[in-house]
Amino acid sequence: MIALTNRSFTPEPGIDPALWAALGKVDQTLIHALVQLKTPPTADHRAKLARGGITLRTFLGGTAYLASLSREARLDEMGEILRWAGPLLPEDKMSRDLWQGKIHDWARTSEGKVKVLVEFHEDSETGASKQVLSAYTREFKRHGPSNTWAVQICESRIRGLAAEEQVRSMEQGPHPMMPLES
């Protein structure tokens, strides 16, 4: 079973057809996907995966990982290592409250927009992040040293932004400054 914030599932072994379709798009050099291995990865497994265009990025529990795949990833040659590979869905990228549309009062602007922190994958360049964000809102700025941006966005556009390939995660924020309790 793969347990994520907004869904848990036990995938059938193999490669999800939607992932094959995403790899076939010519406008992207890397695809971010979920992979489940047959066993915990050894150094040899990681090396073979890398040679096949697959880089394990974030451990998700069990033998599941968030991975980046080159368009030329040779998933069909990884049968001894991969149990399953499939797309990263918008709900996989969003905090539970944001996915459920439960917007906190502090996260709403006076204009009715929602304050959201959008983290891009570590291999996304700043220019690409700005281009994605500008398609959804004009109100965004860097937040901290990582590839995270503070965004003000119309609630109706949040799921569309989450569907963008370069987006890794989204949550309401930044949180307002609160006084310390004594």
Q: For 105-157, write each residue's pLDDT tens digit.
A: 999 999 999 999 999 998 888 888 999 999 999 999 999 878 999 999 999 99
Domain end residue (candidates: 64, 88, 112): 88
pTM, two decimals, is: 0.88
- Looking at residue 124, its pLDDT comes to 82
CA 124 – CA 1 distance, rounded (Å): 29
**Residues whose CB is less than 8 angstroms from the CB of residue 178 and which lie 6 or more positions away in sequence, other chains included:** none
Average pLDDT over residues 36-42: 96
Check whether residue 61 and residue 130 sit in a common domain.
no
Check whether residue 80 and residue 19 sit in a common domain.
yes
CATH number at residue 29: 3.30.70
136: containing domain: 93-172
Q: Is pLDDT of 4 > 80? A: yes
| Other Cβ atoms within 10 Å of 100 Cβ, number | 11
Check whether residue 43 and residue 8 sit in a common domain.
yes
pLDDT bracket for residue 94 (50, 70, 90):
very high
> Counting every residue, how long is the chain?
182
Q: Do 30 and 88 touch, CB atoms closer than 8 A? A: no
Q: Do 54 and 69 touch, CB atoms closer than 8 A? A: yes
Domain end residue (candidates: 88, 122, 142): 88
Check whether residue 83 and residue 23 sit in a common domain.
yes
- Looking at residue 5, its pLDDT comes to 92
Check whether residue 130 and residue 64 sit in a common domain.
no
